[in-house]
Amino acid sequence: MLTLYDAARCPYCARVRIVLAEKGIEYETIEIDLDDRPTWIYEKNSTGRVPVIEEDGWVLPESAVIMEYLEERHPEPALLGADPADRALARLRIFRCEDFTRPYYALRRGESYGRGLFAEQLERLDARLDQRPWLSGAAYGLADIAYVPWVLRARDRLGVDLGPYPALAEWLSLLLARPAVAEEGHVVAGL
Ligand SMILES: N[C@@H](CCC(=O)N[C@@H](CS)C(=O)NCC(=O)O)C(=O)O
């Protein structure tokens, strides 16, 4: 049985929860209190951060690495495209996701420049999604899952209006039609 060291409010954990749900992988959750982390979590991950997964005593941190591990260990349903170019593009998007999340955190911290910087990132994402329906390439996959936790939290926790970004809003509604992502919507609603 796989164990996920998890925190409901953590968007990085959300990535892993969504992949686990998409693939129908059974797992147990150990909820970590981010305001009062147990010291033993440093034995699982030297940074003390979640998510971490554990299987038979083998531990793996880092959401992007965990997503790819789950994809390789449980290839069905596929969340990386068959075409190497699509796979590379999805990895590039995930690799550069911090360009998107840094402004999100600036906005969340209430920095004066946060709103403008995050709006720029939303515009970029919207323009991309206007050209192709998925961040992962020809089909829904890991890159979409990598971004959606922050988009959901921006909309539902920070009150960001997605109206000015129609392609992004459409992408989000397609994602929310998937039970794995809808479940994450409920998690965010309960935060
Ligand atoms: N690069 C890590 C980031 C994980 C991360 O920052 N998790 C946050 C919760 S959302 C955390 O554990 N924060 C505790 C801390 O920074 O001390 C990943 O992708 O898994």
Q: Could you read off the pLDDT of 102-155 as tens digits, one per residue?
A: 999 999 999 999 999 999 999 999 999 999 999 998 899 999 999 999 999 999
* CB burial readout 131-160, b (16+ within 10 A) else e: eebbbbbebbbbbbbbbbbbbbbbbeeeeb
Instruction: Give residue 61 CA to ligand 1 midpoint distance, Å.
Output: 10
CB 133 within 8 A of CB 154: no
The CB of 108 under 6 Å from ligand 1? The reply is: no
Residue among 47, 108, 150, 187 to mutate when testing ligand 1 (max atoms within 8 A of CB): 47
Task: Say how far apart CA 62 and CA 25 lie, in whole Å.
Answer: 18
The CB of 170 under 6 Å from ligand 1? The reply is: no
The CB of 12 under 6 Å from ligand 1? The reply is: yes
The CB of 49 under 6 Å from ligand 1? The reply is: yes
Q: What are 49-103's pLDDT values in tens digits? A: 999 999 999 999 999 999 999 999 999 999 999 999 999 999 999 999 999 999 9
**CA–CA distance from 110 to each of 105, 127, 139 (Å)?**
8, 26, 35
Nearest CA to ligand 1 atom 6: 49
Task: Say how far apart CA 48 and CA 42 lie, in whole Å.
Answer: 5
- What is residue 113's three-state secondary structure? coil
Nearest CA to ligand 1 atom 2: 62
pLDDT score of 139? 94
pLDDT score of 135? 95
Which residues does 144 contact at the CB level (< 8 Å), separation at least 6?
A: 134, 135, 136, 171, 175
The CB of 48 under 6 Å from ligand 1? The reply is: yes
pTM for the whole structure: 0.97
